[in-house]
Amino acid sequence: MSTLFEHGATLAPQIDAAAAQRAYELDRLHVFHSWSAQDLISPMVISAAQGSYVWDGDGTRYLDFSSQLVNTNIGHQHERVVAAIAEQAAKLCTIAPTYANEARSEAARLISERTPGALNRVFFTNGGADANEHAVRMARLHTGRPKVLSAYRSYHGGTQLAVNLTGDPRRWANDSASTGTVHFFPPYLYRTTFHSTTHAEECERALAHLEQVITFEGPSTIAAIMLESVPGTAGIYVPPPGYLQGVRELCTRYGIVFIADEVMTGFGRTGRWFAVEHDGVVPDLLTFAKGVNSGYVPLGGVAISPEIAATFGERVYPGGLTYSGHPLATAAAVATINAMQDEKMVEHAAMLGTDVIGPALAQFAERHAVVGETRGLGVFWAIELVRNRETREPLAPYGASSPDMNQLIAECKSRGLLPFVNFNRIHVVPPCNTSVADVEKGLAILDDVLTIADGLIGG
Ligand SMILES: Cc1ncc(COP(=O)(O)O)c(C=O)c1O
């Protein structure tokens, strides 16, 4: 059993450089990549991974401070999960969602036990976007209302409705004015829309703004508010205390379904099983994916309140997927959740946030002129880079990269660190079970790279 949070620190896998080269060539000939101009990319070949490390096709080792797309919460190749997938594959690879199945039932039980309140029914999907699509469908049918409100600076997935709910530039090219999606401004003190100077002010003003949007859109037309509990790719800006409570109250007052998108924040990322716990909030629907089984097999889902489940007690729920609750994916979820529990990974993630990453990032903010703000929880942190602390001009414009940011990514990689970067931010998002020593190693590399960044802005 892997109890030591040290997976991969010493292991050196055999890398077949010729196979890696062929993988690269075939990729360039035949693979069509997400969110990319196909001729302008040069994907790194990853040939092996273990714990918090990956190896490229030349055998170079990298500390994975990205958790890939912030999904490998238990690190790579956790032996209990790999074994559970193999065991399930030998027993029963696939079965239609019509039937009951041990792996699916047990996964639903383990998830229900950990979601807040009485969210005790689980609809399984293949990932996060379709979880959000189904959550909205449930909310619309439950309320009989058409519109959904979501925040600017958010990401909810790549399918048509989910990308139209998204509040970042990935929506623009797909913006077909998907009926009934309306955006509002979330609280974000560092770049406040509301001219606030304190978190309390920002919280109060953002809630007043949201209530105005509800009033002017017409409460009787709004089915749901969808909100990332801590917005992730858009900047890991932790909502001020009381904000999620306030949204909960508005939803209750106006009969609106509160959908918490916990696709990125769920399963330990913020040092709790779910990020809504930080504000003591129970949503009506909670969507999850990524960390539920660390992405070892694609899986997502919606945890459903008793009231919404009851809507579909004697009325057909008009939705489904061939692979809903796929046995390999749900067996991986069972093993992942049990491993996280037994190895106290959620507690470990919380400790990394309070004792290691948080204090180190606070020091970076003091020492490096390029650091505008650092913020986060658990193993979910952002470093916001600026050219000028007074003007807060970002090191890359909103919605884009810049030569400076590209150089910093290259500097990280040349030092053996795989970072997660979005626009002008570096996100510190290692697996929940990364050892303190490895986190400190990654932070030391970031410290060096920030010194280079200081030089870029003449600091
Ligand atoms: C908050 C959030 N919601 C939804 C999604 C979409 O999930 P998927 O890519 O599994 O469809 C993501 C993916 O990054 C996400 O971060």
Q: What does the pLDDT look like over 202-244, one tens digit per residue?
A: 999 999 999 999 999 999 999 999 999 999 999 999 999 999 9
Ligand 1 centroid, distance to 149 Cα (angstroms): 17
Q: Which residue carries 């929940």 as its tokens?
A: 432
Q: From CA 199, how far away is CA 180, in angstroms rounded?
A: 31
For the Cβ of 374 lying below 6 angstroms from any atom of ligand 1, the answer is no
Cβ neighbours for 443, distance < 8 A, ≥ 6 positions apart: 356, 357, 360, 428
Nearest one of 306, 382, 286, 284 to 275, comparing CA atoms: 286
The two tokens of residue 437 are 């020593």
Ligand 1 centroid, distance to 425 Cα (angstroms): 18
The two tokens of residue 106 are 């047990």
Cβ neighbours for 26, distance < 8 A, ≥ 6 positions apart: none
The two tokens of residue 56 are 């490229």
Nearest one of 48, 53, 51 to 3, comparing CA atoms: 51
Give the ligand 1 atom nearest the CA of 228: 1
Which of the residues in the chain have pLDDT under 70? 1-11, 177
Give the ligand 1 atom nearest the CA of 265: 1
Judged by DSSP in three states, 71 sits in coil
Nearest one of 303, 321, 312, 320 to 140, comparing CA atoms: 312
Best residue among 150, 154, 264, 265 to mutate for probing ligand 1, ranked by most atoms within 8 Å of CB: 264
Q: From CA 22, how far away is CA 16, in angstroms rounded?
A: 10
Residue 11, pLDDT score: 59
For the Cβ of 240 lying below 6 angstroms from any atom of ligand 1, the answer is no
For the Cβ of 289 lying below 6 angstroms from any atom of ligand 1, the answer is yes
Residue 20, pLDDT score: 97
Q: From CA 366, how far away is CA 185, in angstroms rounded?
A: 29
For the Cβ of 228 lying below 6 angstroms from any atom of ligand 1, the answer is yes
Ligand 1 centroid, distance to 238 Cα (angstroms): 17
Nearest one of 300, 265, 302, 267 to 284, comparing CA atoms: 302
Best residue among 165, 263, 296 to mutate for probing ligand 1, ranked by most atoms within 8 Å of CB: 263
Question: DSSP readout, 94-137?
Answer: ---TTS--HHHHHHHHHHHHHSSTT--EEEEESSHHHHHHHHHH
Cβ neighbours for 387, distance < 8 A, ≥ 6 positions apart: 370, 393, 394, 395, 457
Torsion of CA 427, 431, 435, 441, to 10 degrees: -30
Nearest-CA residue for atom 13 of ligand 1 = 157
Best residue among 33, 72, 134, 290 to mutate for probing ligand 1, ranked by most atoms within 8 Å of CB: 290
Q: Which residue carries 């238990």 as its tokens?
A: 74
Ligand 1 centroid, distance to 166 Cα (angstroms): 10
Task: Decide the pairing of beta strands 257-261 and 285-288.
Answer: parallel
Residue 437, pLDDT score: 98
Q: From CA 123, how far away is CA 127, in angstroms rounded?
A: 11
For the Cβ of 153 lying below 6 angstroms from any atom of ligand 1, the answer is no
Nearest-CA residue for atom 6 of ligand 1 = 157
Task: Decide the pairing of beta strands 257-261 and 46-50.
Answer: unpaired
Q: Which residue carries 């383990």 as its tokens?
A: 110
Nearest-CA residue for atom 3 of ligand 1 = 156
Give the ligand 1 atom nearest the CA of 262: 1
pLDDT tens figures, 36-60: 999 999 999 999 999 999 999 999 9
For the Cβ of 266 lying below 6 angstroms from any atom of ligand 1, the answer is no
Residue 178, pLDDT score: 72
For the Cβ of 376 lying below 6 angstroms from any atom of ligand 1, the answer is no
For the Cβ of 129 lying below 6 angstroms from any atom of ligand 1, the answer is yes
Model confidence, pTM: 0.96
Nearest-CA residue for atom 16 of ligand 1 = 264
